[in-house]
Amino acid sequence: MARVLLEGNFDFVPSTMPGDIVHGRMSFSPMFIGGTISLAYANIAHRISLTASADMSYTVSLGLYSMNAGTLSLHQSVSASRSDATAAGTRASHLYMTFSYGTTNDITPGSWWWGVLVSMTGAAAGSQSIRIYGGTVSAQNSFPGAFYAGAMTETTNALPTSYDTASLDGTGAEALSQYILISA
Protein backbone atom coordinates (compact mmCIF):
# COMPACT_ATOMS: atom_id res chain seq x y z
CA MET A 1 0.00 0.00 0.00
CA ALA A 2 1.04 3.56 -0.58
CA ARG A 3 2.38 5.77 2.17
CA VAL A 4 0.10 8.34 3.76
CA LEU A 5 0.96 11.68 5.35
CA LEU A 6 -2.15 12.06 7.48
CA GLU A 7 -4.53 9.66 9.12
CA GLY A 8 -7.44 10.21 11.45
CA ASN A 9 -10.37 8.38 12.88
CA PHE A 10 -12.68 11.20 11.73
CA ASP A 11 -12.73 12.84 8.30
CA PHE A 12 -13.18 16.26 9.87
CA VAL A 13 -13.05 17.86 13.27
CA PRO A 14 -16.14 16.53 15.04
CA SER A 15 -18.63 18.91 16.59
CA THR A 16 -19.45 16.79 19.61
CA MET A 17 -17.72 15.75 22.81
CA PRO A 18 -18.41 12.94 25.25
CA GLY A 19 -18.63 13.84 28.93
CA ASP A 20 -15.92 15.07 31.24
CA ILE A 21 -12.73 13.03 31.31
CA VAL A 22 -12.20 11.16 34.55
CA HIS A 23 -8.70 11.71 35.92
CA GLY A 24 -6.64 8.57 35.32
CA ARG A 25 -9.45 6.61 33.65
CA MET A 26 -8.17 5.60 30.25
CA SER A 27 -10.26 5.21 27.09
CA PHE A 28 -9.40 3.24 23.96
CA SER A 29 -10.58 4.23 20.47
CA PRO A 30 -10.07 2.43 17.15
CA MET A 31 -8.32 3.80 14.09
CA PHE A 32 -7.88 2.24 10.69
CA ILE A 33 -4.55 3.24 9.14
CA GLY A 34 -4.91 2.92 5.38
CA GLY A 35 -1.27 3.20 4.33
CA THR A 36 2.14 3.07 5.96
CA ILE A 37 2.80 6.29 7.87
CA SER A 38 5.97 7.65 9.42
CA LEU A 39 4.52 8.58 12.80
CA ALA A 40 5.93 11.96 13.84
CA TYR A 41 3.00 13.81 15.39
CA ALA A 42 -0.34 13.11 16.97
CA ASN A 43 -3.08 15.58 17.80
CA ILE A 44 -6.23 15.65 19.86
CA ALA A 45 -8.79 18.44 20.03
CA HIS A 46 -10.30 19.18 23.39
CA ARG A 47 -12.08 21.68 25.57
CA ILE A 48 -10.94 22.80 28.97
CA SER A 49 -13.36 24.47 31.32
CA LEU A 50 -12.74 26.17 34.65
CA THR A 51 -15.54 27.53 36.75
CA ALA A 52 -13.18 29.15 39.22
CA SER A 53 -10.12 31.29 38.78
CA ALA A 54 -7.28 28.90 39.48
CA ASP A 55 -4.21 27.31 38.00
CA MET A 56 -4.82 24.23 35.97
CA SER A 57 -2.23 21.80 34.67
CA TYR A 58 -2.76 18.57 32.87
CA THR A 59 -0.86 15.87 31.06
CA VAL A 60 -2.26 13.76 28.27
CA SER A 61 -0.57 10.48 27.39
CA LEU A 62 -1.30 8.69 24.14
CA GLY A 63 -0.61 5.03 23.62
CA LEU A 64 -0.79 3.36 20.23
CA TYR A 65 -1.92 -0.23 20.71
CA SER A 66 -2.15 -3.29 18.49
CA MET A 67 -4.58 -6.05 19.40
CA ASN A 68 -4.22 -9.80 19.38
CA ALA A 69 -6.76 -12.24 20.79
CA GLY A 70 -8.50 -9.52 22.74
CA THR A 71 -5.39 -8.10 24.35
CA LEU A 72 -4.14 -4.62 23.55
CA SER A 73 -0.34 -4.25 23.43
CA LEU A 74 1.44 -0.92 23.66
CA HIS A 75 3.41 -0.12 20.51
CA GLN A 76 4.25 3.58 20.87
CA SER A 77 3.72 6.15 23.57
CA VAL A 78 3.97 9.90 23.81
CA SER A 79 2.75 12.59 26.19
CA ALA A 80 2.28 16.35 26.38
CA SER A 81 1.45 18.80 29.13
CA ARG A 82 0.08 22.30 29.37
CA SER A 83 -0.90 24.77 32.05
CA ASP A 84 -3.43 27.54 32.37
CA ALA A 85 -2.53 30.30 34.80
CA THR A 86 -4.80 31.79 37.41
CA ALA A 87 -4.66 35.14 35.68
CA ALA A 88 -6.78 33.83 32.83
CA GLY A 89 -9.74 33.60 35.19
CA THR A 90 -12.88 31.55 34.66
CA ARG A 91 -12.75 30.27 31.13
CA ALA A 92 -13.52 27.63 28.56
CA SER A 93 -11.12 27.07 25.69
CA HIS A 94 -11.18 24.78 22.68
CA LEU A 95 -7.67 23.68 21.77
CA TYR A 96 -5.57 21.30 19.78
CA MET A 97 -2.88 19.51 21.72
CA THR A 98 0.05 18.28 19.65
CA PHE A 99 2.30 15.39 20.60
CA SER A 100 5.77 15.03 19.06
CA TYR A 101 7.42 11.63 18.89
CA GLY A 102 10.95 12.97 18.39
CA THR A 103 12.02 9.98 16.34
CA THR A 104 9.70 8.59 13.73
CA ASN A 105 8.57 5.02 13.29
CA ASP A 106 6.70 3.48 10.40
CA ILE A 107 3.24 2.33 11.38
CA THR A 108 1.89 -0.36 9.11
CA PRO A 109 -1.62 -0.32 7.66
CA GLY A 110 -4.37 -2.03 9.58
CA SER A 111 -6.24 -1.99 12.88
CA TRP A 112 -4.86 0.07 15.70
CA TRP A 113 -6.27 1.44 18.92
CA TRP A 114 -5.43 4.66 20.74
CA GLY A 115 -5.36 4.79 24.49
CA VAL A 116 -5.88 8.25 26.00
CA LEU A 117 -4.91 8.98 29.60
CA VAL A 118 -5.48 12.41 31.18
CA SER A 119 -3.98 13.51 34.48
CA MET A 120 -5.09 16.81 35.99
CA THR A 121 -3.71 18.91 38.81
CA GLY A 122 -4.40 22.41 40.08
CA ALA A 123 -7.94 23.67 40.41
CA ALA A 124 -10.22 22.19 43.01
CA ALA A 125 -12.05 19.06 42.03
CA GLY A 126 -15.33 19.91 40.35
CA SER A 127 -14.18 23.29 39.10
CA GLN A 128 -12.16 22.07 36.16
CA SER A 129 -12.97 19.68 33.37
CA ILE A 130 -11.57 18.39 30.11
CA ARG A 131 -13.56 16.95 27.24
CA ILE A 132 -11.99 15.43 24.16
CA TYR A 133 -13.78 15.82 20.84
CA GLY A 134 -15.41 12.64 19.66
CA GLY A 135 -18.55 10.61 19.22
CA THR A 136 -21.44 10.86 21.64
CA VAL A 137 -23.78 8.06 20.70
CA SER A 138 -24.04 6.09 23.90
CA ALA A 139 -25.10 2.45 23.98
CA GLN A 140 -26.47 0.90 27.13
CA ASN A 141 -25.13 -2.56 26.45
CA SER A 142 -21.63 -3.68 25.52
CA PHE A 143 -20.52 -3.97 21.94
CA PRO A 144 -21.42 -7.50 20.80
CA GLY A 145 -18.51 -7.99 18.40
CA ALA A 146 -14.86 -8.71 19.12
CA PHE A 147 -13.91 -5.25 20.42
CA TYR A 148 -14.70 -1.73 19.35
CA ALA A 149 -13.88 0.78 22.06
CA GLY A 150 -14.03 1.04 25.81
CA ALA A 151 -12.98 2.77 28.98
CA MET A 152 -11.18 1.45 32.02
CA THR A 153 -13.22 0.91 35.14
CA GLU A 154 -10.16 1.68 37.25
CA THR A 155 -7.62 4.47 37.20
CA THR A 156 -3.97 4.34 36.28
CA ASN A 157 -0.95 6.60 36.50
CA ALA A 158 0.75 5.30 33.38
CA LEU A 159 -0.06 3.72 30.03
CA PRO A 160 -0.30 -0.04 30.55
CA THR A 161 1.95 -2.16 28.34
CA SER A 162 -0.92 -4.56 27.76
CA TYR A 163 -4.59 -4.62 28.64
CA ASP A 164 -7.34 -7.18 28.38
CA THR A 165 -10.26 -5.69 26.45
CA ALA A 166 -12.63 -7.87 28.45
CA SER A 167 -11.85 -5.65 31.44
CA LEU A 168 -13.00 -2.49 29.68
CA ASP A 169 -16.41 -0.90 30.04
CA GLY A 170 -17.94 -0.86 26.56
CA THR A 171 -21.00 1.17 27.44
CA GLY A 172 -21.61 4.90 27.52
CA ALA A 173 -20.18 7.75 25.50
CA GLU A 174 -16.68 7.18 26.86
CA ALA A 175 -16.69 3.91 24.95
CA LEU A 176 -16.95 5.63 21.58
CA SER A 177 -14.19 7.10 19.48
CA GLN A 178 -12.15 10.09 20.54
CA TYR A 179 -10.80 12.26 17.75
CA ILE A 180 -7.15 11.57 16.99
CA LEU A 181 -5.18 12.89 14.04
CA ILE A 182 -1.68 11.65 13.22
CA SER A 183 0.80 12.89 10.67
CA ALA A 184 4.24 12.24 9.25
Partner 1 sequence: MGLFGLINAGIIPFDVGGTSAADPQMLLFQNFGNQYANAFGPVSFGTMSIHAVYIPMSISFNKLAMLLVRSASLSGNTLNFSAIFGLYSMNAGTLSLANSASANPAIASSDVTAAITRWITFATSATQNISPGQWYFGFAHVSSGVNWGISYLINNSYNPNNVPPTQFLYGRMTVSTNTPPASIATSTLDITGNDATKQQYIIITA
Residues 154-183 that bind partner 1 (CB under 8 A): 176-177, 179
Question: Phi, psi (5° rounding) for residue 174?
Answer: -65, -15
Distance CA 120, CA 58 (A): 4
Q: CA-to-CA distance for 125 and 128, rounded, in angstroms?
A: 7
* Phi and psi at residue 59, to the nearest 5°: -125, 135
C-beta of 43 vs 51, nearer to partner 1: 43
Instruction: Find the shortest distance in angstroms from Cβ 67 to partner 1.
Output: 6
CB under 8 A: which stretch of 28-36, 47-55, 89-97, 154-162 binds partner 1? Answer: 28-36
Counting contacts by CB under 8 A, is residue 120 touching partner 1?
no
The answer to whether residues 26 and 117 touch, using CB atoms and an 8 Å cutoff, is yes
Kindly tell me the burial class for residue 102, based on how many C-beta atoms sit within 10 Å of its own C-beta (0-12, 13-18, 19 or more): exposed
Binding mask 67-106 for partner 1 (x = CB under 8 A): x---------------------------------------
Stretch that binds partner 1, among 47-55, 107-115, 122-130, 150-158 (CB under 8 A): 107-115
If one asks whether residue 140 binds partner 1 (CB under 8 A), the answer comes out as yes
Among the residue ranges 11-19, 79-87, 93-101, 153-161, the one whose residues contact partner 1 (CB under 8 A): 11-19
- Which 3-state string (H, E, C) describes 27-84? EEEEEEECCEEEEEEEEEEEEEEECCCCCEEEEEEEEEEEEECCEEEEEEEEEEEEEE
Question: Which one among 99, 114, 148, 163 touches partner 1, defined by CB under 8 A?
Answer: 148
- Binding partner 1 (rule: CB under 8 A), the pick from 2, 87, 125, 146 is 146
